Chains A and B, each alone.
Chain A
């Protein structure tokens, strides 16, 4: 078990290091450099060179990379050439918003999908099961920005239950925080719940055919309790895989949703930085997103070993 965990963590560190190089190189090969952008097209080459020296862009690439990554590791993402402000606070503030939205919608999606998917599997040849399957099929087909717009039209503009946009940090007032969270989280969760329902359904159907479930019933557990006690944990293994992959797409989906609901999350910051040609900020945000996705993968892999003893000694 310990060997497995250490192995997976090492793998995470190596991948993250490799990813940081890729992110850095990508930003380097983009046309236009920071000094040129800051001074505009009419600047003299001498002025550009002077500014490059000031930013440290005249140093060898490897030194630039090391100083950047050294800063990142100590929580310092450098200073934006455009806004002249340090980047770290921007990232730390926006990451909170994005993580809250993403994790809350994943939790909501799971809370809906696990019971619905299980019900759809158990009742697979009854009308209820067929209706759940059909509904989840429709849910998958709705893009989340469309769901967001519909939700705003109905619950904000129509019924006036929730504000249509904006953000309030929890410490500024928890009620307001929750109120503003409901619509974006629901919009993101809807599609996820539909996808996960289908996976939960097929995982439970698969498990229901397993011999050990018949053993559980032969031991004296009624069919329903046998499924809960012996089936669901087995069914969780494929669902965790899918949920892990979905979390990564949720992070990306959040970029769009943050735009619709005007949330100060990483997506909003990323879009702003790109349109300002604020390369250092883009580099920082992309790096953080990459690490987040890798971290989610790591957590999923560690969850496997908790769920499935067969994984612990393999790998």
Chain B
């Protein structure tokens, strides 16, 4: 290994008496690309913040952080002295591109500023360099982008701007904290390529923080796994993927692999990881054929023959009129849906895949009667949603229940879990005693303790809250369960558990599942059929395996290609 660029020794981060990161040591060599992987709360973001000297005031760090070419321990430096390093030697790209830029300042100025602060360019040069940098991160029209305000750019474009700022002074170390988590898959693939190219071209060292194993493999050479405030394992990508030593790493790997299932056709979880055999390990790995066989048996719909359409959508159009502003083209009328037709037979697991803005959320809102369509018709279980009376809508909603994306925002923090779950039963006039029975029954079904009923949502983790949401949806025994990105806010290890739960419940309650996701991998595992949406249209629909293995539409093909998968990661390493 060449000379080390960053040396972290016994770094310890604590909030008062509570230790968030236990003594942790690692080094990054000049130009080396290192991934730091772990789930939320594992301390990976705090570790990077400590290196940058950007820890929130109420946290304190001890230990040593050394950067080659500088004297002493960065942790003891003053804010003023650290500021001179930040943006010049150390720079950072953050997770949330929507809020990371100053909304009141033109993009070009924000890029130029980082050069002016460090006097690496005079004001006129900085302005010209800013446009060059925006071109380097491949913004469509760099000159126009420099004059734009952040709100005129999309999330992916803003993240490119952040990268332009971070790379402006050719730093020696770039820290990326979940830089693509908030982005669409195809955009994620482009941004990841850009990051890799940029650091390779400039010889910049990279510390790449993510929860996604497949992503880390596509960018990094070496991986460190962080678990509960400790780095539990570290090694080359190949080593980690083929021969993980720590129990947690093995669990994470197993849970990430959406193509591998156990003998019951369920995903591996941390608990069942021992039986998981990695693709790359070679010793009798489960082949794709085996995996497919598994998924085929799973996906067998309850009753294909009599599966008459439970949901029938025809020529659905939804147009919003509003003054929307975007840098590249202004639209006063937004066509969210432009003529969608689909029919979902009872008992199928129907996936709807699309990126943000594809109209999938609008489709869900119309399906569930939360919004009227502009034209077209929707039939759910025999009820014409677009012309239904409120009584009909109410009975339709007993049949169709929704699980929402954000387990933190979709539960009323002031209501007890029992009341949250029982709420759909209130308009159905179910008597109090019966309601309590049903709540207890449903809690058991989603794998929560009976005592949970008396607690409040904030006392639960993200995965547990999503179980509460599922319980609320199931309590009125619907025939259709609509899930809107139910696992996209969850950690990988929790994701596997929730997906398994959904699979179990769909079998047990004989549900028709409508599952909306941006993640083709998840849909492939869970669903029998899929519709791919783009710009308000369904570009392709059919059974999930044939679409995944043999996409007909170029957009579907690009979506499949862009979805980071562990198989590709293995192939690359």
Q: Do A and B come from one complex?
A: yes
Q: Which residues of A contact B (CB under 8 A)?
A: 210-212, 214-223, 230, 233-234, 307-310, 313-314
Contact of B100 among A215, A233, A234 (CB under 8 A): A215
Q: Which of B54, B103, B118 meets A308, CB within 8 Å?
A: B103
B117 / chain A contacts, CB cutoff of 8 Å: 219-221
Shortest C-beta distance, B205 to chain A (Å), equals 16
Q: Identify A215's interface contact among B84, B88, B94, B323, CB under 8 A.
A: B94
When C-beta atoms are compared, the residue in chain A nearest to B117 turns out to be: A220
Complex Cα distance A35/B247, Å? 98
Q: Quick one: given A218-B92, A234-B103, A234-B104, are A310 and B151 in contact (CB under 8 Å)?
A: yes
Provided the pairs A212-B100, A234-B103 are in contact, do residues A310 and B86 lie with their beta carbons within 8 angstroms?
no
Given contacts A211-B94, A310-B151, whether A220 and B87 have CB atoms under 8 Å apart is: yes
Bound state CA distance, A217 and B80, in angstroms? Answer: 10
User: Hey, which chain B residues are within 8 Å of A217, CB to CB?
Assistant: 54, 83, 86
Which residues in A have their C-beta under 8 angstroms from that of B292? none
- Interface flag for B419 (CB, 8 Å): no
When the two chains form the complex, which single residue of A212, A216, A314 contacts B323, counting CB atoms closer than 8 Å?
A: A314
- Tell me if B508 is interfacial: C-beta within 8 Å of chain A: no
Range, interface on chain B: 20 to 34
Binary contact readout B78-107 vs A (1 if CB under 8 angstroms, 0 otherwise): 011001111110011010100111111100
Minimum CB distance partner of B53 in chain A: A217
Given A218-B91, A221-B117, A234-B102, 14 other A-B residues pairs in contact with their CB atoms under 8 A: A212-B100, A212-B102, A214-B100, A215-B100, A215-B165, A217-B86, A219-B113, A219-B117, A220-B84, A220-B85, A220-B86, A220-B117, A223-B79, A230-B102
- Give Cα A211 to B97, complex, Å: 9
Tell me, rounded to whole Å, the shortest Cβ–Cβ distance linking B99 to chain A.
4
**Are B102's CB and A313's CB within 8 A?**
no
Chain B's nearest CB lies how many Å from the CB of A236?
9
Does B52 lie at the interface of the complex (its beta carbon under 8 Å from any beta carbon of A)? yes
Bound together, the chains give a CA A234 to CA B101 distance in angstroms of: 12
Please tell me if the beta carbons of B87 and A211 are within 8 angstroms of each other in the complex. Answer: no
Q: What CA separation (Å) do A300 and B80 show in the bound complex?
A: 37
B101: A residues at CB distance < 8 A: 212, 215
Q: Given A211-B99, A212-B102, A309-B149, do A220 and B114 touch, yes or no (CB 8 Å)?
A: yes
B170 CB to closest chain A CB, in angstroms? 14
Say yes or no: B103 contacts A222, CB within 8 Å. no
Residue ranges of B at the interface with A (Cβ–Cβ < 8 Å): 52, 54, 79-80, 83-88, 91-92, 94, 96, 99-105, 113-114, 117-118, 149, 151, 162, 165-166, 323, 325
Bound state CA distance, A215 and B323, in angstroms?
A: 30
Residues of B within 8 A of A313 (CB): 323, 325
Contact A218/B52 with A309-B149, A313-B323, A313-B325 known, Cβ cut-off 8 Å: yes
Contact A309 B151 (CB under 8 A): yes
Closest A residue to B150 using CB positions: A212
Q: How far, in whole Å, are A313 and B326 apart by their CA atoms in the complex?
A: 10
Q: Which residue of A lies closest to B105 (CB)?
A: A230
Shortest Cβ distance from A223 into chain B, in angstroms?
A: 6
Bound: A218/B177 CA distance, A: 13
**A212, A218, A230, A233: the one within 8 Å of B87 (CB):** A218
Chain B residues contacting A309 (CB-CB under 8 Å) are 103-104, 149, 151
CA distance A216 to B102 in the complex (A): 9
A218 and B167 alpha carbons, distance in the complex (Å): 12
Specify which chain A residues have a CB less than 8 angstroms from the CB of B166 in the assembled complex. 218
CB nearest to B106 among chain A residues: A309
Cα distance A210–B52 when bound, in Å?
17
**How far, in whole Å, are A273 and B100 apart by their CA atoms in the complex?**
57
From residue B67, how far is it (CB to closest CB) to chain A in Å?
A: 14
Is the beta-carbon distance between B114 and A219 smaller than 8 angstroms?
Answer: yes
Residues of B contacting A230 in the complex (Cβ-Cβ under 8 angstroms): 102, 105
Chain A residue at minimum C-beta to C-beta distance from B93: A218
Partner of A212, one of B88, B92, B99, B151: B99
Jot down 12 A-B pairs with beta carbons below 8 A, ordered by A.
A212-B102, A214-B54, A216-B102, A218-B54, A218-B86, A219-B86, A219-B91, A220-B85, A230-B102, A307-B104, A309-B104, A313-B323
A220 to chain B: which residues have CB within 8 Å? 83-88, 114, 117-118
A211-B100 CB under 8 A given contacts A219-B117, A220-B118? yes
B188 to A: closest C-beta gap in Å: 19
Nearest A residue (CB) for B52: A218
Min C-beta distance of B54 to chain A, whole Å: 6
> Complex: how many Å from CA A221 to CA B82?
9
Q: How far is the CA of A217 from the CA of B166 in the complex (A)?
A: 12
Q: How far is the CB of B174 from chain A (nearest CB, A)?
A: 11
* Across-interface contacts of A219 in B (CB, < 8 A): 86-87, 91, 113-114, 117, 165
Closest-by-CB residue of A relative to B49 is A214
**A212→B104 CA distance, assembly (Å):** 11
- Shortest CB–CB separation between residue B398 and chain A, in angstroms? 40
C-alpha gap A87/B162 in the complex (Å): 62
Complex interface: chain A residues within 8 A of B103 (CB): 212, 234, 308-310
Residue of A nearest to B81 (CB): A222
Asked whether, in the complex, the Cβ of B100 is within 8 Å of the Cβ of A222, the reply is no
In the complex, what's the smallest C-beta–C-beta distance from B92 to chain A, in angstroms? 5
Q: How far, in whole Å, are A309 and B110 apart by their CA atoms in the complex?
A: 15
The docked-state distance in angstroms from the alpha carbon of A148 to that of B84 is 50
Which residues on A sit within 8 Å (CB–CB) of B94?
211, 214-215, 218
CA distance A310 to B149 in the complex (A): 8
Residues of B close to A234: CB separation below 8 A: 102-104
Residue of B nearest to A215 (CB): B100
Decide if A222 touches B102 in the complex (CB within 8 Å): no
Q: Are A222 and B83 in contact (CB under 8 A)?
A: yes
Give CA–CA (A310, B106) in the complex, Å: 12
Q: What residues of A have a CB within 8 angstroms of the CB of B102 in the complex?
A: 212, 215-216, 230, 234
Q: How far is the CA of A139 from the CA of B540 in the complex (A)?
A: 66
**How far is B80's CA from A220's CA once the two chains are assembled, in angstroms?**
9
Distance between Cα atoms of A56 and B86 in the complex (Å):
77
Distance, CA A149 to CA B121, complexed state (A): 59
> B162 touching A215 by the CB < 8 A rule?
yes
Residue of A nearest to B95 (CB): A211
Whole-angstrom distance from the CB of A38 to the nearest CB of chain B? 55
Minimum distance in angstroms from B317 CB to a CB of chain A: 26
With a cutoff of 8 Å between Cβ atoms, the chain B residues found around residue A214 in the complex are: 54, 94, 100
Min distance, Cβ A204 to any Cβ of chain B, angstroms: 15
